[in-house]
């Protein structure tokens, strides 16, 4: 229960600012390309900081990693609340990227290694944590719209101030109430790094697969808020709209549960994703909103497929390869986010068409290599 409260406090704060974070940057004088660059910077910094923060968690414990990550995230939100220009948002992005690196692996590791004595309960506890995450994010989004409509008018800064307060409360709660982790045996990071390099050298085809999935994964989120604002959506309704989008994503995940991913369904889902993402760029609000809803439903369905595929292929050294997958996704995502912002300066529709064009070769590679890669790695890793 204590861990769920921590999750709830954090994700309520996230829900407050997710619907308007790009709009806030634009209202502070950043161009769309500059706003996208700060989002890309978060991904790059997270990628760079993943290994050292992982070593920190191994040496000092997952709880300390979570506390430091939460503290840095609070500072990042405070810097965003201050705003003022590109330099301040860039600093906030760097701090935020390090914060995400501190918490990205430590969250799951804390549940598995420190919180539970009975490891058989991990899946249930992690599933519960995910539900708390999603539910409190949606509540935060709804509250965001309520605050803008009733309390603050169009003052977005207040949302960041309230979010920062909840994140600070979360840090204090973690520090005081979360149980300390168990002591870990000393890790031999140098030898692990050598083994890591050897695994990468022997798994080039899998690395290309990670790149293909990374291309498919990017969804042009940096363009969503500007497009909806351009179509006349009031700021006070952004929270409600994004809560509905979140529900569409959850519905897609639910639809994919226990589903056998036959090739025709995978192809159909990608086609629907591509068409709906392009239609989101149409300058008709009803069409744009409906298209994004369909995209998010289908995208989460496809993400479950990607996760299922990777888990079937990677049967050994799972943590290592999933870390590599995360690294490839972040670096590729940073490039795509920047490109989306750059082209979106002139035309959001053009940016979305280019994004789909970049995703398509990745999907074609997945189709061409799926069976071969699955069979080969299953045999080699048995």
| pTM more than 0.75 | yes
User: Distance between CA atoms of 206 and 316, rounded to whole angstroms?
Assistant: 13
Q: Which long-range contacts (CB under 8 A, 24 or more apart) does 142-147 make?
A: 142/15, 142/239, 142/240, 142/243, 143/12, 143/15, 143/16, 143/239, 144/15, 144/16, 144/17, 144/19, 144/20, 144/238, 144/239, 145/19, 145/236, 145/237, 145/238, 145/239, 145/240, 145/243, 146/239, 147/16
Q: What is the mean pLDDT of the chain?
A: 86
The encoded tokens of residue 20 equal 């308007």
pLDDT of residue 180: 82
User: Distance between CA atoms of 238 and 24, rounded to whole angstroms?
Assistant: 12
CATH number of 190-382: 1.20.1250
Minimal CA–CA distance to 160: which of 144, 138, 145? 144
Beta-carbon contacts of 346 under 8 Å, excluding residues fewer than 6 positions away, are: none
How does pLDDT run across 123-137, given as a tens digit for each residue?
A: 677 778 888 999 999
Q: How many CB atoms lie within 10 A of CB 13?
A: 27
The encoded tokens of residue 318 equal 């799972």
Q: Where are the domains of the chain?
A: 1-179, 190-382
User: Distance between CA atoms of 325 and 253, rounded to whole angstroms?
Assistant: 20
How does pLDDT run across 288-338, given as a tens digit for each residue?
A: 999 999 999 999 888 877 776 776 666 566 656 766 778 889 999 999 999
pLDDT of residue 379: 55
User: Distance between CA atoms of 63 and 77, rounded to whole angstroms?
Assistant: 21
Measure Cα distances from 59 to 64, 191, 195, 322 in Å.
Answer: 10, 16, 19, 21
Specify the fold of 1-179. Answer: Growth Hormone; Chain: A; (1.20.1250)
Report, as an integer, the average pLDDT of 27-37.
Answer: 97
How does pLDDT run across 178-192, given as a tens digit for each residue?
A: 988 655 554 455 544
User: Distance between CA atoms of 325 and 16, rounded to whole angstroms?
Assistant: 29
At residue 84, φ and ψ (nearest 5 deg) are: 110, -25
How does pLDDT run across 224-239, given as a tens digit for each residue?
A: 999 999 999 999 999 9
pLDDT of residue 381: 46
């Amino acid at each position: 229960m204590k861990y769920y409260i921590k999750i709830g406090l954090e994700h309520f704060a996230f829900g407050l600012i997710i619907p308007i974070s790009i709009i806030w940057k634009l209202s502070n004088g950043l161009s769309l390309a500059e706003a996208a660059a700060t989002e890309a910077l978060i991904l790059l910094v997270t990628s760079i900081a993943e290994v050292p923060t992982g070593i920190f968690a191994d040496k000092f414990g997952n709880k300390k990693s979570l506390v430091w990550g939460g503290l840095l995230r609070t500072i990042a939100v405070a810097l965003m609340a201050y705003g003022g220009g590109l330099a301040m948002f860039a600093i906030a992005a760097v701090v935020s990227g390090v914060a995400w690196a501190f918490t990205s692996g430590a969250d799951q590791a804390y549940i598995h290694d420190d919180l539970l004595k009975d490891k058989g309960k991990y899946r249930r506890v992690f599933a519960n944590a995910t539900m708390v995450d999603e539910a409190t994010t949606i509540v935060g989004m709804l509250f965001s719209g309520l605050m803008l409509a009733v309390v603050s008018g169009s003052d977005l800064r207040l949302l960041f101030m309230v979010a920062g307060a909840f994140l600070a409360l979360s840090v204090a709660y973690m520090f005081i109430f979360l149980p300390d982790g168990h002591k870990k045996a000393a890790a031999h990071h140098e030898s692990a790094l050598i083994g890591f390099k050897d695994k990468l050298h022997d798994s080039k085809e899998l690395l290309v697969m990670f790149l293909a999935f990374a291309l498919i994964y990017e969804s042009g989120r940096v363009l969503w808020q500007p497009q909806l604002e351009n179509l006349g959506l009031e700021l006070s309704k952004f929270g409600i709209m994004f809560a509905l989008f979140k529900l569409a994503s959850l519905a897609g995940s639910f639809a994919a549960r226990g589903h056998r991913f036959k090739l025709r369904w995978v192809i159909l889902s990608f086609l629907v994703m591509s068409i709906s993402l392009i239609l989101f760029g149409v300058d008709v609000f009803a069409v744009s909103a409906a298209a994004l809803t369909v995209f998010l439903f289908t995208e989460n369905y496809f993400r479950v497929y990607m996760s299922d595929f990777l888990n079937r292929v990677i049967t050994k050294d799972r943590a290592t390869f999933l870390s590599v997958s995360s690294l490839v996704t972040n670096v590729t995502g940073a490039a795509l986010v920047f490109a989306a912002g750059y082209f979106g300066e002139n035309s959001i529709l053009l940016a979305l068409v280019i994004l789909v064009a970049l995703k398509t070769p990745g999907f074609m590679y997945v189709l061409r290599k799926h069976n071969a890669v699955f069979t080969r790695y299953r045999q080699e890793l048995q």
